[in-house]
A and B are shown apart, each in its own frame.
Chain A
Protein backbone atom coordinates (compact mmCIF):
# COMPACT_ATOMS: atom_id res chain seq x y z
CA UNK A 1 0.00 0.00 0.00
CA UNK A 2 0.83 3.72 0.02
CA UNK A 3 1.98 3.99 -3.56
CA UNK A 4 2.56 7.32 -5.27
CA UNK A 5 3.02 7.58 -9.00
CA UNK A 6 4.29 10.35 -11.21
CA UNK A 7 3.78 10.91 -14.88
CA UNK A 8 5.74 11.36 -17.04
CA UNK A 9 8.90 9.80 -15.70
CA UNK A 10 11.00 11.65 -18.22
CA UNK A 11 10.24 14.56 -20.53
CA UNK A 12 12.22 16.68 -22.92
CA UNK A 13 10.70 19.93 -24.03
CA UNK A 14 11.79 22.97 -25.94
CA UNK A 15 12.48 26.29 -24.31
CA UNK A 16 9.34 28.38 -24.00
CA UNK A 17 6.89 25.49 -23.82
CA UNK A 18 4.96 24.34 -20.76
CA UNK A 19 4.98 20.90 -19.25
CA UNK A 20 2.59 19.32 -16.77
CA UNK A 21 3.67 16.69 -14.25
CA UNK A 22 1.10 14.57 -12.46
CA UNK A 23 1.39 13.11 -8.99
CA UNK A 24 -1.12 10.51 -7.90
CA UNK A 25 -1.65 8.64 -4.67
CA UNK A 26 -2.88 5.28 -5.93
CA UNK A 27 -4.30 3.60 -2.87
CA UNK A 28 -4.87 6.33 -0.33
CA UNK A 29 -6.22 9.84 -0.13
CA UNK A 30 -3.82 12.67 0.51
CA UNK A 31 -5.06 16.07 1.57
CA UNK A 32 -1.50 17.34 1.36
CA UNK A 33 1.08 16.74 -1.31
CA UNK A 34 4.53 18.25 -1.65
CA UNK A 35 6.66 19.10 -4.64
CA UNK A 36 10.43 18.90 -4.48
CA UNK A 37 13.19 19.68 -6.93
CA UNK A 38 16.63 18.19 -7.08
CA UNK A 39 19.40 19.72 -9.16
CA UNK A 40 22.39 17.52 -10.07
CA UNK A 41 24.58 16.72 -7.07
CA UNK A 42 22.39 18.77 -4.77
CA UNK A 43 19.85 17.86 -2.14
CA UNK A 44 16.11 17.74 -2.47
CA UNK A 45 14.55 21.17 -2.09
CA UNK A 46 10.96 21.74 -1.12
CA UNK A 47 9.22 23.90 -3.70
CA UNK A 48 5.65 24.04 -2.49
CA UNK A 49 2.98 22.47 -0.35
CA UNK A 50 -0.21 21.55 -2.12
CA UNK A 51 -3.44 21.24 -0.18
CA UNK A 52 -6.55 19.81 -1.76
CA UNK A 53 -9.07 22.49 -2.57
CA UNK A 54 -6.89 25.45 -1.71
CA UNK A 55 -3.99 27.44 -3.12
CA UNK A 56 -0.54 26.00 -2.84
CA UNK A 57 1.99 27.44 -0.43
CA UNK A 58 5.30 28.20 -2.11
CA UNK A 59 8.71 28.26 -0.50
CA UNK A 60 10.75 31.41 -0.63
CA UNK A 61 12.39 31.91 -3.98
CA UNK A 62 9.97 29.70 -5.92
CA UNK A 63 7.96 31.60 -8.53
CA UNK A 64 4.32 30.69 -8.16
CA UNK A 65 3.46 32.01 -11.61
CA UNK A 66 6.07 29.80 -13.16
CA UNK A 67 5.33 26.63 -11.23
CA UNK A 68 1.57 26.25 -11.22
CA UNK A 69 0.22 23.71 -8.79
CA UNK A 70 -3.27 22.32 -8.84
CA UNK A 71 -4.54 19.86 -6.24
CA UNK A 72 -7.94 19.11 -7.68
CA UNK A 73 -8.69 15.92 -5.81
CA UNK A 74 -7.51 13.91 -2.86
CA UNK A 75 -5.47 11.67 -5.13
CA UNK A 76 -4.07 14.04 -7.74
CA UNK A 77 -1.79 17.06 -7.73
CA UNK A 78 -0.25 18.57 -10.85
CA UNK A 79 2.78 20.77 -11.31
CA UNK A 80 2.93 22.81 -14.51
CA UNK A 81 6.23 24.38 -15.44
CA UNK A 82 5.25 27.33 -17.61
CA UNK A 83 7.49 28.82 -20.25
CA UNK A 84 10.21 26.39 -19.37
CA UNK A 85 13.85 27.34 -19.81
CA UNK A 86 17.02 25.27 -19.65
CA UNK A 87 17.64 26.34 -16.06
CA UNK A 88 14.37 24.61 -15.13
CA UNK A 89 15.90 21.29 -16.11
CA UNK A 90 15.84 19.23 -12.97
CA UNK A 91 14.47 16.18 -11.22
CA UNK A 92 11.01 16.89 -9.80
CA UNK A 93 9.67 14.65 -7.04
CA UNK A 94 6.30 14.71 -5.35
CA UNK A 95 5.27 13.18 -2.08
CA UNK A 96 1.86 12.54 -0.58
CA UNK A 97 1.09 12.88 3.07
CA UNK A 98 -0.57 9.99 4.84
CA UNK A 99 -1.81 10.41 8.36
CA UNK A 100 -0.06 12.89 10.63
CA UNK A 101 3.38 12.96 9.15
CA UNK A 102 4.42 10.07 6.96
CA UNK A 103 5.24 11.02 3.40
CA UNK A 104 5.36 8.65 0.47
CA UNK A 105 7.39 9.68 -2.51
CA UNK A 106 6.78 9.33 -6.19
CA UNK A 107 9.52 8.00 -8.46
CA UNK A 108 10.30 11.45 -9.80
CA UNK A 109 10.18 13.17 -13.19
CA UNK A 110 13.31 14.09 -15.10
CA UNK A 111 12.69 17.33 -16.99
CA UNK A 112 15.13 18.43 -19.64
CA UNK A 113 14.55 21.73 -21.38
CA UNK A 114 16.51 22.25 -24.57
Chain B
Protein backbone atom coordinates (compact mmCIF):
# COMPACT_ATOMS: atom_id res chain seq x y z
CA UNK B 1 0.00 0.00 0.00
CA UNK B 2 1.21 3.49 -0.68
CA UNK B 3 1.82 5.76 2.24
CA UNK B 4 3.26 9.21 2.87
CA UNK B 5 4.75 10.11 6.22
CA UNK B 6 5.49 13.60 7.46
CA UNK B 7 6.97 13.09 10.91
CA UNK B 8 6.67 16.69 12.09
CA UNK B 9 3.25 18.15 12.81
CA UNK B 10 4.76 21.50 13.64
CA UNK B 11 8.04 23.12 12.69
CA UNK B 12 9.04 26.52 13.96
CA UNK B 13 12.14 28.34 12.74
CA UNK B 14 13.39 31.90 12.78
CA UNK B 15 13.35 34.12 9.73
CA UNK B 16 16.51 33.66 7.71
CA UNK B 17 17.20 30.19 9.07
CA UNK B 18 17.25 27.11 6.83
CA UNK B 19 14.10 25.02 6.63
CA UNK B 20 13.70 21.32 5.96
CA UNK B 21 10.31 19.64 5.98
CA UNK B 22 10.64 15.90 6.00
CA UNK B 23 8.66 13.50 3.85
CA UNK B 24 9.09 9.76 3.50
CA UNK B 25 7.03 7.52 1.31
CA UNK B 26 6.18 3.90 0.74
CA UNK B 27 5.30 2.78 -2.77
CA UNK B 28 5.99 -0.33 -4.80
CA UNK B 29 7.14 1.19 -8.04
CA UNK B 30 8.14 4.62 -9.28
CA UNK B 31 5.91 7.23 -7.74
CA UNK B 32 5.49 10.85 -8.58
CA UNK B 33 6.02 13.12 -5.60
CA UNK B 34 4.59 16.54 -4.95
CA UNK B 35 4.58 19.23 -2.32
CA UNK B 36 1.37 21.19 -1.78
CA UNK B 37 1.01 24.31 0.35
CA UNK B 38 -1.99 25.86 2.05
CA UNK B 39 -1.60 29.41 3.27
CA UNK B 40 -3.93 30.69 5.94
CA UNK B 41 -7.52 30.99 4.66
CA UNK B 42 -6.52 29.91 1.16
CA UNK B 43 -7.02 26.75 -0.84
CA UNK B 44 -4.52 24.00 -1.30
CA UNK B 45 -2.14 24.64 -4.17
CA UNK B 46 0.73 22.87 -5.82
CA UNK B 47 4.15 24.09 -4.72
CA UNK B 48 6.42 21.83 -6.71
CA UNK B 49 6.75 18.37 -8.23
CA UNK B 50 9.83 16.23 -8.37
CA UNK B 51 9.80 15.51 -12.09
CA UNK B 52 10.21 19.15 -13.02
CA UNK B 53 13.21 19.62 -10.71
CA UNK B 54 12.25 23.23 -10.26
CA UNK B 55 12.66 25.74 -7.49
CA UNK B 56 9.53 27.57 -6.46
CA UNK B 57 9.66 30.47 -4.00
CA UNK B 58 13.14 29.33 -3.08
CA UNK B 59 12.00 25.82 -2.16
CA UNK B 60 13.55 22.69 -3.63
CA UNK B 61 12.92 19.02 -3.07
CA UNK B 62 15.03 16.10 -4.21
CA UNK B 63 13.67 12.62 -4.59
CA UNK B 64 15.93 10.11 -2.87
CA UNK B 65 14.82 6.68 -3.94
CA UNK B 66 17.33 4.92 -1.72
CA UNK B 67 15.95 6.59 1.38
CA UNK B 68 12.41 6.86 -0.06
CA UNK B 69 12.38 10.52 0.89
CA UNK B 70 11.31 13.77 -0.69
CA UNK B 71 12.28 16.42 1.81
CA UNK B 72 11.40 20.06 1.13
CA UNK B 73 14.17 22.58 1.72
CA UNK B 74 14.74 26.30 1.68
CA UNK B 75 18.05 27.89 2.66
CA UNK B 76 16.62 31.10 4.13
CA UNK B 77 13.09 31.08 5.52
CA UNK B 78 10.82 34.09 5.11
CA UNK B 79 7.80 35.04 7.19
CA UNK B 80 5.47 34.56 4.23
CA UNK B 81 6.48 30.90 4.11
CA UNK B 82 4.34 30.22 7.18
CA UNK B 83 1.70 27.72 6.04
CA UNK B 84 0.63 24.08 6.08
CA UNK B 85 2.74 21.92 3.80
CA UNK B 86 1.57 18.57 2.49
CA UNK B 87 3.70 15.97 0.79
CA UNK B 88 1.76 13.86 -1.71
CA UNK B 89 2.33 10.82 -3.86
CA UNK B 90 0.75 9.63 -7.06
CA UNK B 91 1.25 6.66 -9.36
CA UNK B 92 3.54 7.07 -12.40
CA UNK B 93 2.61 9.76 -14.87
CA UNK B 94 0.63 8.64 -17.85
CA UNK B 95 0.54 10.12 -21.31
CA UNK B 96 -1.95 12.90 -21.87
CA UNK B 97 -5.41 11.43 -22.10
CA UNK B 98 -4.30 8.22 -20.45
CA UNK B 99 -6.00 8.88 -17.17
CA UNK B 100 -4.76 10.07 -13.84
CA UNK B 101 -4.25 8.84 -10.31
CA UNK B 102 -5.52 10.56 -7.22
CA UNK B 103 -3.07 11.67 -4.60
CA UNK B 104 -2.10 10.14 -1.29
CA UNK B 105 -1.30 12.87 1.20
CA UNK B 106 0.82 13.01 4.30
CA UNK B 107 -0.72 14.51 7.43
CA UNK B 108 0.94 17.83 6.82
CA UNK B 109 3.48 19.97 8.62
CA UNK B 110 2.58 23.37 10.00
CA UNK B 111 5.54 25.63 9.31
CA UNK B 112 5.82 28.75 11.42
CA UNK B 113 8.45 31.32 10.62
CA UNK B 114 9.20 33.55 13.57
CA UNK B 115 10.38 37.11 12.98
| A residues in contact (CB < 8 Å) with B | 4, 31-32, 34, 36, 42-46, 49, 51, 59, 93, 95, 97, 99-108
Contacts and interface: CB of A to CB of B under 8 A. Distances in A.
Given A42-B107, A43-B107, A93-B44, A100 B93 contact: yes
Contact of A101 (B43, B90, B97): B90
Main secondary structure of the interface of A (DSSP, over half): strand
Contacts of B104: 46
Residue of B90, B96, B103 with most chain A CB atoms under a 10 A cut-off: B103
Interface string B82-103: 0000100010011111011111
A24 to B, nearest CB: 14
Contacts of A51: 99
A59 B108 CA distance: 21
B91 to A, nearest CB: 10
A105 B93 contact: no
B100 A101 contact: yes
Nearest to B6: A43
Interface string B1-13: 0001000000000
B17 interface: no
23 contacts: A4-B43, A31-B97, A36-B102, A43-B4, A43-B86, A43-B107, A43-B108, A44-B86, A45-B105, A46-B103, A49-B101, A59-B102, A93-B44, A100-B95, A100-B100, A101-B32, A101-B49, A101-B100, A102-B49, A103-B100, A104-B46, A105-B36, A106-B43
Interface of B: 4, 32, 36, 43-46, 49, 86, 90, 93-97, 99-108
Given A36-B102, A99-B96, 11 more contacts: A34-B102, A36-B105, A44-B44, A45-B105, A93-B44, A100-B94, A101-B49, A103-B100, A104-B45, A105-B44, A107-B43
A100 B49 CA distance: 13
Contacts of B96: 99-100
A3 to B, nearest CB: 10
Given A32-B100, A101-B100, A43 B32 contact: no
Contact of A43 (B90, B102, B106): B106
